[in-house]
Amino acid sequence: MKLVKLSDISNKITKGTTPQKEAFQGKEVNYIKSESLNYNGHIDINSFCSIDMATHKSKLKRSILKENDILISIAGANLGKIGIVSKDMLPANTNQAVGIISLKPNLVKSRYVYYYMQQIRIRNIINNSVAQSAQPNLNLTQLGNIKIELPQLNIQDKIIKILDIISKKIDLNIRTNNNLYEIGKALYQEYLENEEYTNNYEIRQLSEITTNNRNKIDQTKEYKVLSAVNTGNLVLSDDYFDKQVYSKDIGKYLNVNKNDFAYNPARINIGSIGLNTFDFNCCVSPVYVTFSVDKDYIDFFDFYFKSKRFNAEVTLRASGSVRQALNYNDFGMIEIPYPTKEMIEKFNSSYKTIKERININKTKISNLEQLRDTLLPKLMNGEIDLDKIEI
């Protein structure tokens, strides 16, 4: 097995280009931002923007994507998120926060490098390569200097075949969950946004139906720190970011109970509000807002905070601030048609099975990702007979 630099096996290593705002009025070309990439290698096609074909061909020539190009996030707190361009994504382009790796097919298989770059140790190498600044960046020279363990092409093919089977199962579960979520969203809209029902609901301010919690952590217990991200979820900070982005001393951090919500007032305008679904002790930065709701209304609010109606309210009430911050007092002034207990029970009953299925699939995805991460180094090192393995 040879050890080579990424630049030695690449035809081109470059980065994307950010066009003028006018380009986003077009709909002909997919525009893939770093937010669409994930550490598990899955590219979220639902988060693509689009630009016009003229800009794509004339002003963004450097970053025109081809099938099997590897994409990697090279700027911000989430360095090292990976994706590979498939034929059905084209035509496509990307922005300057994304590196583009076009490999030499006579030397290496793109999907082998795609899997290799997903390893946690590669992400650690990337983070150790960049300056520890508020906005770390991986330059193209540093990207090209990453070293790859390269077996022969026939061995690469066998490794790809095995890992592709696992990845297809992961993608299937992700697509299934996306479809299930859309069904749940349709139920929410039918029961809780349909004017046939909402006209009979009482109008309530959020301050009346939420409880602002400012409870500091119990320093005798262990806590995991959560971060609100723009997918509308609370995630484990240590899992989501490759370096510690929270304070070393969390003594002043706020406790977040399971089924409570939290958001960063300075980032709520981009959807950073989420529900704590974890079973262990969790906390957030003291700059956050945390609040609880009636236990029967948890799923209703989880959908509501991801809705266009709520986003419009946030934009309206936060528009006077440069950073569009929204404190709890302003948040509490938002008025909503508050569903009756009877309607909430109907919604919860219909959504229960869907939610259970989603959670089962999430566990499957996590287990498959762990299996893939464990297998790759063993396959490369010959610890497993490639001709006998069955998935």
Query: Measured between alpha carbons, how far apart are the two ends of the chain, in Å?
Result: 25
Angle at 65 between CA 62 and CA 66, to 5 degrees: 125
Q: Of 334, 314, 309, which is closest to residue 264 (Cα–Cα)?
A: 314
Give CA 258 to chain center in angstroms.
21
**Rounded Cα–Cα distance for residues 288 and 110 (Å):** 42
List C-alpha distances in Å: 353 to 206, 250, 302: 28, 38, 16
**Rounded Cα–Cα distance for residues 347 and 194 (Å):** 13
Give CA 172 to chain center in angstroms.
17
Q: Which segments of the chain does DSSP mark as H helices, in order?
A: 53-58, 110-116, 120-129, 140-144, 153-192, 195-198, 206-209, 237-240, 298-304, 308-318, 328-332, 341-380
Residue pointed to by tokens 């006579």: 106
Task: Tell me the pTM.
Answer: 0.77
Q: Which residues share a beta bridge with 50?
A: 30
> Residue 137 has what DSSP assignment?
B
Sign of the alpha-carbon dihedral angle for 136, 41, 66, 162: positive
CATH architecture of 202-338: Alpha-Beta Complex (3.90)
Structure token pair of residue 221: 């217990």
Residue 109 near residue 78, CB atoms below 8 Å = no
The pLDDT tens digits along the chain (391 residues) read 789 999 999 999 999 988 888 889 889 999 998 888 887 788 888 888 899 999 999 889 999 999 999 999 998 767 888 999 999 999 999 999 999 999 999 999 999 999 999 888 888 888 777 655 556 788 899 999 999 999 999 999 999 999 999 999 999 999 999 999 999 999 999 888 888 888 889 999 999 999 999 999 998 999 999 988 877 788 888 777 656 667 788 889 999 999 999 998 887 765 578 899 998 999 999 999 999 999 999 999 999 998 888 888 888 877 554 556 788 998 999 999 999 999 999 999 999 999 999 999 999 998 998 888 888 888 877 777 666 666 5
pLDDT of res. 323: 54
Q: What proportions of the chain, in percent to the nearest 5, are helix, strand and coil? A: 45, 20, 35
User: Domains of the chain: which residue ranges?
Assistant: 2-150, 202-338
pLDDT of res. 319: 56
Give CA 50 to chain center in angstroms.
19
> Residue 253 has what DSSP assignment?
P
Q: Of 316, 304, 204, 210, which is closest to residue 260 (Cα–Cα)?
A: 210
**Rounded Cα–Cα distance for residues 164 and 155 (Å):** 14
pLDDT of res. 242: 57
Choosing among 3.40.50.720, 3.90.600.10, 3.90.220.20, 3.40.47.10, the CATH entry for 2-150 is 3.90.220.20
Q: Which residues share a beta bridge with 92?
A: 30
Instruction: Say whether 202-338 and 2-150 share the same fold.
Output: yes
Structure token pair of residue 19: 């066009």
**Rounded Cα–Cα distance for residues 329 and 251 (Å):** 25
Q: Which segments of 327-340 does DSSP mark as H helices, in order?
A: 328-332
Structure token pair of residue 389: 């393995």
**Rounded Cα–Cα distance for residues 321 and 279 (Å):** 36
pLDDT of res. 382: 74
Give CA 342 to chain center in angstroms.
35
Q: Which 3-state string (H, E, C) describes 22-50? A: HHHHCCCEEEECHHHCECCCCCCHHHCEE
Q: Say which amino acid occupies 43.
A: I
pLDDT of res. 314: 84
In sequence order, the 6+-apart residues with CB closer than 8 A to the CB of 50 are 24, 26, 27, 28, 29, 30, 31
